[in-house]
C-alpha cells in the first residue's frame, strides 16, 4: 500500500497527463506532406473530414487530393496531390 503523501505528490503529474490526453483527443486531423501528397491522421469516426483536409492541403499547390490508401488501424489516409 502506498503512503498517502506519495500519492498526493504524484497527483499533479497524473492530472497533467490526463489533461494532455484529453486535449490530444480533441485535436483535429494532422497532415504530414508536401506538394506531391502526404498522410492525414484523422478521427476514426470521420474519414470524410480527413479527405477534406487533404484536399484543402493540396489546394495550396493548385492541386486536388486523390486517396492512395486508407490505413484503418492507424486512422490514417495517404493521398497524392494531383493536377485538377
At 14 the pLDDT is 47
Identify the pLDDT of residue 65. 97
Rounded Cα distance, 59 and 79, in Å? 13
d(CA 57, CA 66) in angstroms, rounded, equals 12
State the number of CA atoms in the 13 A half-sphere of 26 facing the CB. 6
- Domain extent, residue 20, equals 4-82
CA angle centred on 60, ends 52 and 38, rounded to 5°: 60
In the chain, how many domains are there?
Answer: 1
Spell out the per-residue pLDDT of the chain, length 84, in tens.
Answer: 555 555 556 556 544 554 444 444 455 679 999 999 999 998 876 788 889 999 999 999 999 999 999 998 999 999 999 999
Closest CA to 76 of 28, 44, 36: 44
What does the pLDDT read at residue 47? 81
Cell 494532422 maps to which residue?
A: 30
Q: pTM (2 decimals)?
A: 0.65
Amino acid at each position: 500500500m502506498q503512503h498517502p503523501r506519495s500519492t498526493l505528490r504524484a497527483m499533479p503529474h497524473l492530472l497533467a497527463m490526463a489533461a494532455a490526453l484529453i486535449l490530444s483527443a480533441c485535436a483535429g486531423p494532422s497532415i504530414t506532406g508536401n506538394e506531391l501528397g502526404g498522410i492525414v491522421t484523422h478521427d476514426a469516426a470521420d474519414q470524410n473530414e480527413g479527405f477534406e483536409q487533404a484536399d484543402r492541403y493540396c489546394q495550396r499547390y493548385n492541386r486536388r487530393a486523390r486517396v492512395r490508401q486508407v490505413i484503418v488501424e492507424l486512422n490514417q489516409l495517404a493521398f497524392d496531390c494531383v493536377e485538377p
